[in-house]
Structure 1
Amino acid sequence: MNKTIFKSSSMRSVAIHNLFNRTSIFEPVQDRILNNNRSYTFKDSLFEVQIFGNYLNHSTDYPLFAMLIRHWRNAKANNEDPQLLNLPLKEVKDLLLQANKGTRAVDFKKIKASLQRLDTNRVSYRLNSKAQNKVFETGYFFEESPVLDFESKEIRFSISEFIEELYMPNSNISYLNIEELCNIEREANKALYKYLSTHGTVMIDFKLEKLSCVLGLKYRGYSEARCREYIVKSLKELQVLGIVRAYKWRKESNDYRILQSKYFTAKEAEFAIKHAKSNFKFSRI
């Protein structure tokens, strides 16, 4: 087994590069515009990303992408040839379609459409760090277009060299619970859950502008007031689900203090919401 890659035993811990977690490559999208094309630049203190291709959502596209990444990395961990891989459709159906009451044809039409959207996307990115090369790295997700084979009940795919090189340092990776994400309702809630999941216990303060960018709101021309309304609705719903313990909008700094339940008890959150030191003093998040 490759010692530099850990095999993932389930979809509860999948290594996803933060290029896909902390930018708007995947964003909350309404079904009516899901297959539309987009072309814009995401930029913050960590990444500058030029995004081209169909919109990518969190209900189907992100979980399916995560499944393909997990399958590819497990093959590498087992020292298997990862050039052409086969993902059983049953695994996809169990994760994405378990709550769907549609017909089999409708179910797999949804998977095929998601693969096509993923295949259209081209990304150019660079890290905004003085220590990093300022040249943009550009590529697609797949070396060749993935194939949904109904007869053999599998998805055949090959991960691109672009993704291979992105994962090569084995850093800037977060381990996401994709099963939990799939059980969350509403696109916005899934997106915010994904983003928060990439931050540890000391990362508790998030600028409104940053959250607006990650959720794709900034690129739709939403006003600041509309963005706050959108974000607060998701925070309330994640709090009901027990994912967010407490949150507070800090008007003077125009940011949100967000305390995740996995890091704070109710008693700890009561103190931290008012008195914990801000991560802005030592972080560019």
Structure 2
Amino acid sequence: MLYKTTTLKNLPMHNVFNRTCIFEPVVKNNQSLLRKREYSDTVYKVLIEGCYLNCSVDYPLFAILIAQYINNVIDEVDNPIITTIPLSIIVDSIGVSGAGNRDANFKKIYGSLARLENTKISYMNQISKKVVEGTLIINSDLDFKNKSLTVHFTQLILDLYNLESIKESEVKFMNIQQLTEIDTEGAKALYKFLVTQSKGYIDFTFERLSMVLGYHYRTVAGKRNAKPEERKIPLKDSKKRGYIKEALNILKSNGMIADFHYYAKLGHYRMLQTEYYPDIVQDIDIHKLKSNIKQIKQVKFKKSKSAQDDDFPFDPKNN
């Protein structure tokens, strides 16, 4: 059940935006680049075309706009897809600089709106087989006189947030204020995925996290004299693990994760959210808990389909 929201601590975000790489860790140099990729797991199959969407500005801004759209629908306003929010919410609450009435002062907001307008997704729920597609927003307008931002939502959002059919398990009320206080893009991306998991889901395979965080698709420049097709090579697994570890350390230092451990031989991470495990003994209690991943071989981890799938369950209680 969706309800009206008035703070940044409980904004309704569909889990297709939380549990996939539609929004991912983006370095500054990649914000102007385009991508085309397919993400797939046991619940979501998403084709993403367009801009890289970051977790520092694009995700919070989109979440605020979505919340206002839901408020419009609940209030039964005329044309709820035309959504307007005060600029002060963006400037004051999520730390995006902007003041006065000059375009230059709102560079980050303009950039974010352009990326959201130029990203198209095609999404299929692997369980219901329902398909929805479209751009995220259209026709954005910054009104300096009235200090407001207006966007139009597309049929994609109307389909995803259909109040008559949406399930509770499909939405997580996100604490955007907490997310914006996290230091790095990688930690923000991991946070928005992890907080959608319930207490029993503590183990996640390296492959799954790499896909959710977008590292699975990342490439680096090859040798200078290499052929064009050889100039982009996949990111090494050691680099991916380094990025994941950095994000985990940040979330632990912020008090969002009570403890974590990487089981190298098994190829999976165990992460305990402080919300569910506030009083554990460090480096001891974490090893006593039952795994949610089935068919893990204790001697050698095998990359079986079931081992990959069971760490990303579609559980009606998992909200």
State the TM-score, normalized to the length of structure 1. 0.91
Decide which structure has greater helix share.
1
User: What is the deviation of 1:170?
Assistant: 2.3
Looking at structure 1, the residues matched to 236 and 279 of structure 2 have their Cα atoms a distance apart, in angstroms, of 33
Residue type of the alignment partner of 2:18? N
Looking at structure 2, the residues matched to 35 and 224 of structure 1 have their Cα atoms a distance apart, in angstroms, of 25
- In structure 1, the residue matched to 2:132 is 137
Q: Structure 1: give runs of 5+ residues left out of the alignment.
A: none
- In structure 1, the residue matched to 2:264 is 251
The answer to whether 1:51 aligns with 2:51 is no
Percent sequence identity is: 34
Partner of 1:267, secondary structure, is coil
Contact map agreement 1:5 1:76 (CA 8 A) in 2: no
The answer to whether 1:17 aligns with 2:30 is no
- In structure 2, the residue matched to 1:222 is 235
Contact map agreement 2:38 2:48 (CA 8 A) in 1: yes
Contact map agreement 1:207 1:256 (CA 8 A) in 2: yes
Aligned residues: CA RMSD: 1.9
Q: Structure 2: give runs of 5+ residues left out of the alignment.
A: 219-233, 295-308, 313-319
**CA shift digits 1:148-183 (9 cap, x unpaired):** 122221111121111111122322111110000011
Quickly say closer, same or farther: Cα 1:210–1:107, change in 2 above 3 A.
farther
Contact map agreement 1:46 1:284 (CA 8 A) in 2: no
The answer to whether 1:170 aligns with 2:166 is yes
- In structure 2, the residue matched to 1:179 is 177
Looking at structure 2, the residues matched to 272 and 42 of structure 1 have their Cα atoms a distance apart, in angstroms, of 34
User: What is the deviation of 1:136?
Assistant: 3.8
The answer to whether 1:154 aligns with 2:152 is no
User: What is the deviation of 1:140?
Assistant: 1.1
Bigger radius of gyration among the two: 2
Looking at structure 1, the residues matched to 280 and 21 of structure 2 have their Cα atoms a distance apart, in angstroms, of 34
**CA shift digits 1:63-102 (9 cap, x unpaired):** 000010011111112222203222111111112336x5x7
Stretch moving more, 238-247 or 42-51: 42-51
How many residues in Structure 1 have an aligned counterpart in Structure 2?
A: 276
Partner of 2:293, secondary structure, is helix
- In structure 1, the residue matched to 2:246 is 233
Residue type of the alignment partner of 1:85? T
Looking at structure 1, the residues matched to 285 and 292 of structure 2 have their Cα atoms a distance apart, in angstroms, of 12
Looking at structure 2, the residues matched to 279 and 90 of structure 1 have their Cα atoms a distance apart, in angstroms, of 43
Residue type of the alignment partner of 2:8? M
1:78 alignment partner, one of 75, 81, 88: 75
User: What is the deviation of 1:22?
Assistant: 0.6
Contact map agreement 2:205 2:311 (CA 8 A) in 1: no
Stretch moving more, 144-153 or 223-232: 144-153
Looking at structure 1, the residues matched to 142 and 17 of structure 2 have their Cα atoms a distance apart, in angstroms, of 23
Contact map agreement 2:51 2:119 (CA 8 A) in 1: yes
User: What is the deviation of 1:271?
Assistant: 5.6
User: What is the deviation of 1:227?
Assistant: 1.1
Aligned positions of 1:26-65 closer than 5 A: 26-65=23-62
Looking at structure 1, the residues matched to 195 and 2 of structure 2 have their Cα atoms a distance apart, in angstroms, of 21
State the TM-score, normalized to the length of structure 2. 0.82
